[in-house]
Amino acid sequence: MIKYCKFYLFVVLSLIFASCEKKETAITLPAKGDGEVLQVDMGSNYDFQYFISLQNNQIVHISPTKNWDLAFSCDPNSHAVFLNGAKLMSAINTRKTNFADVGTADTNDKVQNWKYDNASGLIDSTVLGDWKGKNDIYLIKLSNTSNKVRKIRFLSEDIFEYKIEVSDFPSAVPTTITIPKRADRNYTYFSFDYLAEVENVEPAKSGWDLQVTLYNYTFYDQNPILPYIVNGILLNPSGTAAYKDSLSEYTAINADFALAAPLSTRKDVIGYDWKKYDIDKNLYSVESKYNYIVKTKEGSYFKLRFLDFYSSTGVKGSPKFEFQQLK
């Protein structure tokens, strides 16, 4: 109990101090190499996400991080549905099939069992999971800062669309909604507030490599486990792969190293832990030991490392990284 209290106090203090905008203590940043440098400004509250093309050294698209709730895979061979980790959304499977039978007792009985997605991008790492053919009704909590809950049942999916039933909580009268699959996108995004698709969340899947965004990460080494919103980098699930290295010098990484690297298509290979937070100094700093290899869908190889997390005026939420094409 004492250990948990100390950790909880640490987290609370971290959030308080991280939210205070003041001049930061000067730190030594990694020296720039021969590659390109790109920096994005998410805002101090991380309100915006960025989609980046390494191939073109370009910011392709910018959109709000929290204006959607569910992401439906547009892959014709997938029926995965993801929660918006930027809101720390969670869900439970009631194992019931009648909307009228799902009520307050289902949330009270399972208040400690709300589950969260893993950011790997795999269907078996999602709370909603392999829902096909089960007819189950799920409860979805819309954020970690409110008690808004929605009921949802997934009726069907094919190469063209999804059909779902949705209702407020604890209403027993669902609305049937069709969610289209869009061939040029990774996901179709849906809002419970508007009961409609949210457009322009992401660009066409053919035009970007990295997404700078917020997502959920669950710290399972804590007791109880701690779901938390982190700021990090996710891969384009359509053809992008990466490798995380902690043993090599960035300047020594060449094409031979990149071609031999054991790449992964997990979306969170790069992730969030390329930076760390010092609660005593109220300061984020870059973990200089981490380097990354990124292979784009075009077959190009890049090496990448982070340089900073602050803007030129000292505001957090501005990841800055260097990258260089190796092949």
Which of 207, 205, 185, 214 has its CA nearest to residue 197?
Answer: 185
Query: In whole angstroms, what is the distance from residue 68 CA to residue 192 CA?
Result: 8
CB distance 244 to 272 below 8 Å? no
Half-sphere CA count of 106, side-chain side, radius 13 A: 23
Task: Cite the DSSP H helix spans in the chain.
Answer: 2-18, 104-109, 255-260
**pLDDT tens digits for range 133-160:** 899 999 999 998 888 999 999 999 999 9
pLDDT digits (tens, 9 = 90+) for 156-211: 999 999 999 999 998 899 999 999 999 999 999 999 999 999 999 999 999 999 99
Q: Give 92-104 pLDDT, tens digit per residue.
A: 999 999 999 999 8
Buried b (16+ CB within 10 A) or exposed e, 14-52: eeebbeeeeebeeeeeeeeeebeebbbbbeeebebbbbb
Contacts of 67 (CB under 8 A, 6+ apart): 191, 198, 201
CB 92 within 8 A of CB 109: no
Cβ neighbour number for residue 86 with a 10 Å cutoff? 22
Q: Which residues pair with 324 in a beta bridge?
A: 303
pLDDT band at 109 (very low <50, low <70, confident <90, very high): low
Judged by phi (left if over 0) then psi (alpha if -120 to 50, else beta), residue 228 lies in: beta
Domain boundaries, the chain: 35-65+205-325, 70-198
Instruction: Inform me whether the pLDDT recorded for 112 exceeds 80.
Output: no
Q: What is the mean pLDDT of the chain?
A: 89
Q: Is the pLDDT of residue 327 over 80?
A: yes
Distances (CA, A) of 207 to 60, 219, 234, 276: 7, 33, 15, 30
CA neighbor of 210 nearest in space, from 326, 86, 321: 321
Residue 34's pLDDT band (cuts 50, 70, 90): confident
Burial tier of 137 (Cβ tally within 10 Å: 0-12, 13-18, 19+): buried
pLDDT, tens digit, for every residue of 256-288? 999 999 999 999 999 999 999 998 998 999 999
Tokens of residue 221, six digits? 């080494």
Question: End-to-end CA distance of the chain, in Å?
Answer: 52
DSSP letter assigned to residue 126 = S
